[in-house]
Amino acid sequence: MSGIFGVIDEKGIDIKRLVLSNNSLTHRGPDDEGYVLLNDVPKSYAGSSTEINLKLPQISSSIRKSYQMALAHRRLATIDLSPAGHQPMGYSNGNLWITFDGAIFNYIELRNELITKGYRFSSDSDT
């Protein structure tokens, strides 16, 4: 099972503590690590174990912009093993974000139903 968490701090997210906290979950998800920092314009970041083909900027304590919310994820890849399953995952317009740990057993049927309603997917994962 993957490791996930979120932080809300009106004073601003301490990036160094965010990364240290996520690293404490490495045993839960050794395959990938990801972050999304949220304020008016969400920004997705890679961790040191993220697939380089994703071309995401590396999370760093030198990030100066103040973010009040963050999602972090340590991935145990089980369904979609490709980099497309990287999390946190944003919907196409970037306004919706999720970090998910679980299993949706009927995700293929649900996916097909959502596709007929106009939703788009960028991975084959159950997220």
Question: What is the model's pTM?
Answer: 0.85
What is the pLDDT of the chain when averaged over all its residues?
Answer: 88
Q: Where are the beta strands (DSSP E) in the chain?
A: 3-8, 32-38, 43-46, 69-75, 89-90, 97-98
According to the model, what pLDDT value does residue 63 have? 85
Tell me how far apart the alpha carbons of residues 13 and 17 are, in angstroms, rounded to a whole number.
Answer: 8
pLDDT-based confidence at 4, cuts 50/70/90?
A: very high
Give residue-wise pLDDT tens across range 50-97.
877 778 889 988 887 789 999 999 988 888 888 888 889 888 777 889
